[in-house]
Amino acid sequence: MLSYYALRPFVTGIARRFSENSNDPDFLAFLQVDPLQPQRLPTAWVGALSRWIKRLEAAPRSSRQPLIVQGDADMTVDWQHNLQVIRGKFAAPELLMLPDARHHLANEIPLYRDQYFAFLTQHL
């Protein structure tokens, strides 16, 4: 985040890197040619994320029990840290860990989608 604060006055965005955030090769190929995918990450988005993290970490503990679906091959977010924060902020969050699933769970292969749809359906 230090680089964000140093560059913010001079840079409005950075080139977006597309990573393998799904195990579905067709989805990954689609992302590369989708004209609606932004090609730049606005620095304003990075600033909003920084403010949101501070707000979440300063928030009081909640009695709510959120459902969490997380892939253990997610390289987009620091999910290990995020789970620690969530466990400290909420009473008994229920977690479905998907071995080898990546970040873009809505566009994962059916093996993972079927598992988390079943998990969510159980809680309707």
What CATH code is carried by the domain that includes residue 57?
Answer: 3.40.50.1820
The residue range of the domain holding 93 is: 2-122
The residue-averaged pLDDT of 2-25 equals 83
Sole residue written with tokens 């998990």: 119
What was the pLDDT predicted at 2? 65
Tokens matching residue 9? 């006055």
- Beta strand spans in 38-104 (E): 40-42, 67-71, 94-98
Separation between Cα atoms, residue 50 and residue 85, nearest integer Å: 15
pLDDT in tens, 48-101: 998 999 999 999 999 999 999 999 999 999 999 999 999 999 999 999 999 999
Short-list 28, 42, 36, 47, CA closest to 102: 28
HSE-up of residue 21 (Cα within 13 Å, Cβ side): 15
Q: Which residues make Cβ contacts (< 8 Å) with residue 117, sequence separation at least 6?
A: none
What was the pLDDT predicted at 1? 63
Lowest mean pLDDT among 13-22, 30-39, 55-64: 13-22
Q: Which residues make Cβ contacts (< 8 Å) with residue 67, sequence separation at least 6?
A: 93, 94, 96, 119, 120, 123
What was the pLDDT predicted at 58? 95
Total domains in the fold of the chain? 1
* 8 A C-beta contact, residue 78 and residue 103: no
